[in-house]
Each structure stands twice: as C-alpha cells, then as structure tokens.
Amino acid sequence: MRTIAMHQITEHVKQSVIDINYHLDESLVNLFRKAKAKETNKTASAILDDLIVNQDIAAKGDVPLCQDTGLVVVYVEIGRDVHLDGDLYQAINDGVRAGYDEGYLRKSVVNHPFQRTNTGDNTPAVIHVRLVEGDQLKMKIAAKGGGSENMSLVKMLTPADGINGVKKLVLDTIFHAGGKPCPPIIVGIGIGGNLEKSALLAKEAILRPLEDHAEDAIIRQLEDELYEEINQLGVGAMGVGGDTTCLAVKINHYPMHIASLPVAINIQCHSARHTEVVL
C-alpha cells in the first residue's frame, strides 16, 4: 500500500491547468507548420500563420492561448494498492480553483442550466475515476473549450449501419459544424459500449498522443480513412475552406449490446490543451 497525499494532487492539477493554457505541445505546433506548408487557400494559410504566432506569444506567459480556458476534465486511474489520504474530488477541485486564479484564466463555469450564475472559480471539474492494477495514480488533465464541445454528439446507430454508417455520421457532423469548433480539429470518436460509455471513449480518444494509432487493425484503418475523407470536405481552418480540416482522428472502441452501435463524436479545437501526470 502506497499513500498519496491530497496536497500533491492539488499542486499537480494547479500547475497543469496553468501550463496547458499557455503552452501547446510541440507535436501539435509541428502539425500547424505542416498544414501551413501545404495549404493552398490564401485565407486558411493566413489563419494557420496566426495560430503559429499566437502560441509563441502565449508561451511568454502574459496572456493565455485562448480566451476560452475551458472546463477542466480529469480522467483518473488509481492503482488498487494506492491509499488516498483525503477526498480526491476536493483535491482536484482545489487545484482547479488555485490554477484558474493564479494563472489568470477565465472562469467559464455556471452553476445551473437556467440561473447561470458563474461559480467564480471554474469548479467543479468533470472527473472520471477508474480502478487499475499497481500503486500509481495517473491523471489525464484537459481544459476543454465550449465551442468545440457544442459541436459534439452521441448517436445510437444500429448494427446494420456498420462502418459506412459511422463514416457518414462523422463526415456529416464535421461538415455541418463548419468553422464553429475552430478547425483544424482533432476528432475523438467512441464506438461501442452504450450511451454514456461511447461519450467517455470519445473524450479519452482526444487525449491520446497525436502520433499514435489504434492497435486494432480495422479501427486503425477507419482512423486513416476518416482522416483523408475529413480533409477532403474542404471545411478548412476556421471554416474558410482549404486543405486541412482535421489534424488527427482518434477512435476508441468497446464491446456493446447486440442491438446497438453507439457512436460518440467529440470535437477538439486546434488549441488542444491537455497533459498527463503520474504520481
């Protein structure tokens, strides 16, 4: 049994939410550069330039990358030999509160669907906990913007819809979202499970490293084909047309009911802000 102190969790969450809102991952910035190098649409090309300059300015530490500094989502994996010395949910929310204050980040959370009073500290975070083997605790921490989240969906397809049904849903969703989710996007897709499981898979798919591929051969091929077909839609950077609509497609899957083919599509804007912490 290994004890993990809650103040450690709070400190890591605080540092992470500040860091991801000022610094984009270098692998992502390289994809901006590649997209820019091959872009044939003049307006899209100017927009891609803006994104490269923007992350340079934000990295200086005065102003965050984007004014929408997100709702915090944390996927926690707890080893079964870990002892937590306090309330995990409170520890994470304490980190969010401190990070959004000290990092001069926007508080974008309201308390109620209709009263809509700002909670003032960007809490509560959305927290998903999973029990795993071992004595470590892993947190995948994301700051997810509202614009791209609003263009996401879950749809219960039927088994007969198959791969083509999934493809059509993804392409239609991205085409109709146009510039609203801030393309070039990263597309997270969850296939299988049930209603809520597919959504959890889709969000976690967004958090995968940009350069990885699905292990399952069929799923991997679907990732590759969708990547090509999405980029042929011509939506382009910020919807102005052009050669790059998506930077990556990530699909996670899970077994499901004989009657169902649940599909969740979670869209991530180009400002993909997330990190991983292992304690």
Partner 1 sequence: MIRLSAPVTRADLKSLKAGDQVLISGIVYTARDQAHIRLVNDKHPAFELEGSILFYVGPTPARDGVIIGASGPTSSYRMDPMSPALMERGVKVMIGKGDRSEAFRAAMMHHGSVYLIATGGAGALLSSRIKSSEVIMYEDLGTEAIRKLEVEDFPCFVAYDLHGNSLFQR
- Write out the residues near partner 1 by the rule CB under 8 A: 42-43, 46-47, 50-51, 53-55, 57-58, 62-69, 104-108, 116, 118, 147, 150, 175, 178-180, 182, 233-236, 238-241, 269-271
Separation of CA 109 from chain center: 17
Residue 16, CA distances (Å) to 5, 21, 121, 162, 218 in order: 17, 9, 16, 39, 35
Beta carbon of residue 6, minimum distance to partner 1 (angstroms, whole number):
27
Chain centroid offset of residue 102 CA = 23
CA distance 137 to 118: 31
Nearest residue (CB) to partner 1, 47 versus 88: 47
* Secondary structure (3-state) at 8: helix
Q: Which is nearer to partner 1, 162 or 234 (CB)?
A: 234
Shortest reach from residue 152's CB to partner 1, in Å = 13
CB of 190 to partner 1, least distance (A): 24
Strand segments, DSSP code E, in 23-125 are 71-79, 82-84
Q: What is the spatial distance between Cα 279 and Cα 275, in angstroms, rounded to a whole number?
A: 13
58 vs 96, beta carbon nearer partner 1: 58
Tell me how far, at minimum, the Cβ of 36 lies from partner 1, in Å.
Answer: 13
Pick 120 or 209: Cβ nearer partner 1: 120
In the complex, the smallest distance separating the C-beta of residue 171 from partner 1, rounded to whole angstroms, is 12
**Which one, 173 or 252, has the nearer CB to partner 1?**
173
Number of H helices, E strands in the chain: 8, 10
Smaller CB separation from partner 1, 8 or 54: 54
Smallest gap from Cβ 244 to partner 1, in A, equals 14
Q: How far is the CB of 19 from partner 1 (least distance, A)?
A: 15
Please say which residue, 28 or 214, places its beta carbon nearer to partner 1: 28
Three-class secondary structure of residue 152 per DSSP: coil
Is 155:167 a contact under the CB 8 Å cutoff? no
Residue with tokens 């937590």: 84
Length of the chain in terms of residues written? 279
- Give, in degrees to the nearest 5, the angle at Cα 186 between 183 and 191: 130
